[in-house]
Amino acid sequence: MNLLRWLAQKSGLDIRSAEYSYGEDPVLGFTSNRKHADRWVNSTCGYCSVGCGMQLGVREGKVVSVRGNPDHPVNLGKLCPKGLAEHYAIDANGRAKYPLLRKNGQLARIGWDVAIDTLVERFRKIQQKYGPESLGIVSTGQLVTEEFYALGKLVQLGFGTTNYDGNTTLCMSTAVAGYKRSFGSDGPPGAYEDLEVADVILLIGANIAENHPILCTRLEANSAKTLIVADPRVTKTAMMADVYLPVKPRSDLALINAILRILIDEELYNKEYVELHTTGFAELRASLAPYTVDYAASITGLSPELIRKTALLYGNAKAAFIGWTMGVNHSTKGTETVNAINNLALITQNIGRPGASPFSITGQCNAMGTREAGFSSGLPGYRKFESSEDREELARLWNLPVDRIPTKRGLAYPDIIEAAVSRKIRALWIIGTNPLVSFPNIDVLKHGLGNLDFLVVQDGFHPTPTTELADMVLPAAIWGEKEGTYTNSERRVSKVNAAVKPPGEARRDFDIFLAVAERLGCGKELFPGWRNPSDAFEEWRRVSTGRLCDYSGITYAALETAGGLQWPCPVGASTNPAAPRRLYTDGRFQTDDGRARLVPTQWAPFPEQPHPEFPLILNTGRTVEHWHTRTKTGGISILQRLSPRAWLEMNPVDAGKLGLKPHEHVDVISARGRVSKVELRITEIVAPGQIFLPFHFVESNANQITQSAFDPISREPNFKQCAVRVEKSSTAHA
């Protein structure tokens, strides 16, 4: 049976009456081709960071269909199931339509003028009383770049607080920190094309079949490759592998260090490249002394032969690609693991060449945009707070005194929450993220939010678990209703366009930021003459000129023609087919001496090891049908029917020991809390001693039980392991 028929049967949807029909492409690569719409608007998918080009079909003021853009260089017309159903999110139930303010305990409708006045007055009063840094802002990876650029200026220069971060610290901050330490700058160096030309591809903790489905089409196009997948779970991606590495949870660092040691011992590395383009080789080599194959085998659970085989495959490859995602980043050793991956790529010169890259596959549609143009963990344009030269340059570009530019970053997201717990942060503005579902160890978060004097939540949906706690809710336009740009994982900037108007009185985040700036009295100074995202884009092009993430050659018009352009894109590059597609092609890095750093790393066991009271290791993650906290996908019936509720994966060995049967309801308990009545799936997809729970479902919230443990460098949570036990549900806990 083909996937469409299966999807339709499972979801109860009549294929003939569906809004679109599908082509016969392989699993997850189907296309839609029915044209019910009066007009089609080009845009880019608003879910994941693959960044597929789309066309939104509009009829009578509604988006009635979407289809892949056949001319877009990322996806050539293909879309995955979430993408194909994305238009339903626009008209889904539960869109936020009006500003709301809490009065006598209830959220009540107010007008925009009152909303903006109240926000500015309350924030200002709190800052006057407790200091500018008592205001915190937590944003997202899902606005357009123009909005991130505007928000950064508003927060840091308008409100004058540095306590600004995003959900990207739950996601990408580890990759960012690792890239900065190795290469002197953030920025994934490769291109998707690399997946088509590499002869060895190693995916570590990246389940692209579920989470970046259209990247799988790149793998299919490469028949000569050897695909190696390291994941403790036999994911759909692992099932595609030529070599599957069932690593024990969080043992990757030991594996990579052992591979490094084998390649150095057997001289399978590029001495000339190491000498000319890196520093720290002697220290790296010394740090690898403990990582014998046998030691790594004891940590990873892999056989010594399999470790050697993997090392030799990578070491002998003409072009080797390493892609990683949350299996690496969601760890207190995440940044070091990224550095070990970069070390491996550097000593073998698997960087800056076709097919060769240490590549962080990003997550949200525009996590990259906030990394480039945002002003939270760095200054816009990958500039550094610590660099007086960078600060002076920005001050000149903005026509501001240099002492207005902060000299260090403020608190990271988990530290903002800690500061709310300790009442140093008194007011919080949450934009485009739903922490009541996505933040680890929710009870700490609830405590922090409960301590605030004023909480504003700006979201496209209401009620959400987070908007329900707000003192003020600001209704935002979402994807399909606004204009700007997204940058995908391969640094490709694509255009996002409005096809319809937002519902009720919802406004573009961009307009909300401008209105707040106006009311704050800094509108003219920070956003002179701005009305539309294109105004922000023009300034951002100037601010990024000459930087690694150079946008100066990108215009909205050029994006419409090309379908998407990769940076660096200096003037003239958008029409030059010979412009470099990758970073670091000349072996020069963004460090002071132009050399990459080889960073010694040390493996350590994950925090909270299993013990008799909590003997199982909990892994959490995603499924193809849903997007994070399900504000966008929970109301889309085809997706919701395919994946209606949470489940718990457990190996038959553990189920046998606990006397549990398939489909029984179980509770999952950690030292912090309990998830009640989850349906049990007994399966060898997970190894004995490990269980897996998706984090999409607030009713069975995985983050009720995850831990408050963070990478010391990136501050990213250790979402992928904690100690739990499983019990058959009793009615007492129902």
Q: Which two tokens stand for residue 264?
A: 């150095």
Please identify, among the stretches 71-79, 199-207, 290-298, 592-600, the one whose residues bind ligand MGD according to the rule CB under 6 A: 199-207
Site for ligand SF4 contains 206 (CB under 6 A) = no
Residues shown for the chain = 734
Does residue 431 touch ligand MGD according to CB under 6 A?
yes
Q: How many residues form the binding site for ligand MGD (CB under 6 A)?
A: 61
- Which residue among 37, 50, 155, 496 contacts ligand SF4 (CB under 6 A)? 50
| Sign, CA torsion 690/692/695/700 | negative
Q: Does the protein bind ligand SF4 through residue 323 (CB under 6 A)? A: no
Tokens linked to 186: 């953030």
According to CB under 6 A, which one of 67, 72, 622, 715 is a site residue for ligand MGD? 622
Q: Are 421 and 451 in contact (CB under 8 A)?
A: yes
Per rule CB under 6 A, count of chain residues that contact ligand SF4: 14
- CB 367 → ligand MGD: shortest distance, Å? 7
3-class SS at 210? helix
In whole angstroms, how close is the CB of 594 to Mo ion at the nearest point?
Answer: 32
Q: Quote the CA–CA distance of 59 and 20 in Å, as a whole number.
A: 14
CB 214 → ligand SF4: shortest distance, Å?
A: 4
**Which residue number, 280 or 435, has a Cβ lying nearer to Mo ion?**
435
User: For ligand SF4, which stretch binds (CB under 6 A), given 45-53, 121-129, 648-656, 711-719?
Assistant: 45-53
DSSP for residue 134 = G
Which distant-in-sequence residues (6+ apart) come within 8 Å of 430 by Cβ? 137, 138, 139, 455, 456, 457, 458, 459, 466, 470
CA gap 135, 129 in Å, rounded: 11
Out of 138, 202, 452, 476, point to the residue binding ligand MGD (CB under 6 A): 476
From the list Mo ion, ligand MGD, ligand SF4, none, pick the one residue 603 interacts with, judged by a Cβ distance below 5 to 8 Å according to partner type: none
Q: What angle separates helix 304-316 from helix 293-300, to the nearest 10 degrees?
A: 110
Q: Which stretch binds ligand SF4 (CB under 6 A): 74-82, 93-101, 182-190, 437-445?
A: 74-82
Pick out residues in 638-697 that bind ligand MGD (CB under 6 A). 695
Residue 460 engages Mo ion in binding (rule: CB under 5 A): no
CB of 501 to ligand MGD, least distance (A): 14
For the chain, the straight-line distance linking the first and the last C-alpha, in angstroms and rounded, comes to 39
Region near Mo ion per CB under 5 A, out of 3-11, 75-83, 363-371, 429-437:
363-371
Q: Where are the beta strands (DSSP E) in 21-169?
A: 39-44, 53-59, 62-68, 100-103, 106-109, 135-139, 164-166
Closest to ligand MGD by CB, 167 vs 555, is 167
Question: Cα(323)–Cα(442) distance, rounded to whole angstroms?
Answer: 30
Binding segment for Mo ion (CB under 5 A), chosen from 173-181, 355-363, 519-527, 658-666, is: 355-363
Residue 301 near residue 307 (C-beta atoms within 8 A): no
544 CA to centre of own chain: 22
Residue 464 touching ligand MGD (CB under 6 A): yes
Q: Is 457 in the site for ligand MGD (CB under 6 A)?
A: no
> What's the chain's Rg over C-alpha atoms?
25
Kindly list the distances between the CA atom of residue 530 and the CA atoms of 160, 515, 526, in Å, as whole numbers in the listed order.
Answer: 21, 11, 9
For 554-700, where are the alpha helices, taking DSSP H only?
556-562, 637-642, 652-658
Partner residues linked to 202 by β-bridges: 228, 322
Residues in CB range of 531: below 8 A, 6 or more apart: 514
Nearer to ligand MGD, 65 or 631 (CB): 631
Q: Please report, as residue ranges, which positions from 10 to 49 form the binding site for ligand MGD (by CB under 6 A).
A: 48
Q: In this complex, which beta carbon is closest to Mo ion, that of residue 86 or of residue 483?
A: 86
Looking at 118, 211, 552, 574, which residue binds ligand MGD (CB under 6 A)?
A: 211
Element (DSSP H or E) covering residue 692: strand 690-694
The answer to the question of residue 90 lying near ligand SF4 (CB under 6 A) is: no
Residue 63 touches ligand SF4, criterion: CB under 6 A: no
Among 355, 363, 435, 621, binds Mo ion (CB under 5 A): 363
The CA distances from residue 255 to 248, 251, 288, 304, 315, in Å, are: 10, 7, 11, 10, 14
Of these, 187, 205, 523, 568, which contacts ligand MGD (CB under 6 A)? 205
What, of ligand MGD, ligand SF4, Mo ion, none, does residue 140 touch, CB below 5 to 8 Å by kind?
ligand MGD
**Interaction between residue 51 and ligand SF4 (CB under 6 A):** yes
* Contact range with ligand SF4 by CB under 6 A, out of 16-24, 77-85, 591-599, 605-613: 77-85
The yes or no reply on residue 461 touching ligand MGD (CB under 6 A) is yes
Q: Which does 52 bind (CB under 5 to 8 A by kind): ligand SF4, Mo ion, ligand MGD, none?
A: ligand SF4
- Per CB under 6 A, the segment of 104-112, 200-208, 519-527, 548-556 that binds ligand MGD is 200-208
- Who's near 550: CB < 8 A, 6+ residues apart? 544, 567, 568, 569, 570
Q: Is 349 among the residues that bind ligand MGD (CB under 6 A)?
A: no
**Cβ-based nearer residue to Mo ion, 63 or 80:** 80
Contact call for residue 171 and Mo ion (CB under 5 A): yes
3-state secondary structure 105-117: CEEEECCHHHHHH
Instruction: Compute the distance between CA of residue 616 and CA of residue 720 in angstroms, rounded to an integer.
Output: 12
Which window, 169-177, 264-272, 370-378, 402-410, contacts Mo ion (CB under 5 A)?
Answer: 169-177
Here the tokens at position 673 are 């809390």
Could you give the CA distance from residue 232 to residue 275 in angstroms, rounded to a whole number? 36
Tell me the CA distances in angstroms from 691 to 89, 391, 653, 660, 710, one per residue in order. 31, 48, 12, 14, 21
Rounded to an integer, what distance in angstroms lies between the CA atom of residue 119 and that of residue 148?
A: 19
CA distance 655 to 121: 56
Residues that bind ligand SF4 (CB under 6 A): 45, 47-48, 50-52, 75, 79-80, 82-83, 212-214
Residues lying near Mo ion in the complex (CB under 5 A): 171, 363
The residues binding ligand MGD (CB under 6 A) are 48, 82, 140, 142-143, 167, 170-171, 204-207, 210-212, 230-233, 235, 247, 249-250, 252, 325-327, 330, 363-364, 431-435, 437-438, 458-461, 464, 476, 478, 509, 619-622, 624, 626-629, 631, 695, 702-703, 706, 719-720
